[in-house]
Amino acid sequence: MNISITTKGIRLSDRDEKYIERRLKKLSRFLPFQEKEIPTLSLLVRQHKKHSLNHSLGKVKKGHKSIDNPEYFDGILRLILPKKTLIANMLGKRIHDCLKDGFDELMVEVEKYKGIYFKNNSDFPDHKTIRKREI
């Protein structure tokens, strides 16, 4: 599997990189692909800070930020497969929560993909067992 990891404003820790490797191994076990059809995973994580302003008697002091500067992380996981591109959005207060959210959503998308494009992996019964009406 080809992997592209992009971060904006942050640096991934070793713990997060190991978590990504572990989830990719699990993901690759679920995907039946051949040598010529190597999937590509693109991971983008961004850090955002919400800045709130102090208010003094209804007037805003320009450029003055309050002590409360909560951070959150968001991103996107894009898995390019032979017949379709699967996309999962990520959001969390910590990087690890963001990654967990994204990979959980991506696993749901992979299950749907397998059910549609690989009939032997579908949860629905085989249609060959349905009796045909005699005319």
Residue 99: helix, strand or coil by DSSP? helix
Under the banding of pLDDT at 50, 70 and 90, the label for residue 62 is low
Domain assignment present for 135: no
Q: Are strands 71-80 and 40-49 parallel, antiparallel or unpaired?
A: antiparallel
Residue 70 maps to a domain: yes
The enclosing domain of 121 has a CATH number of 3.30.160.100
| Model pTM above 0.85 | no
Which domain, by its residues, includes 86? 2-125
C-alpha dihedral, 8 to 11 to 15 to 18, nearest 10°:
60
How do residues 69-80 score in pLDDT, each as one tens digit? 478 888 999 998
Q: Cβ distance 109 to 86 under 8 Å?
A: yes
Domain tally for the chain? 1
**In degrees rounded to 5, what are phi and psi of residue 93?**
-80, -25
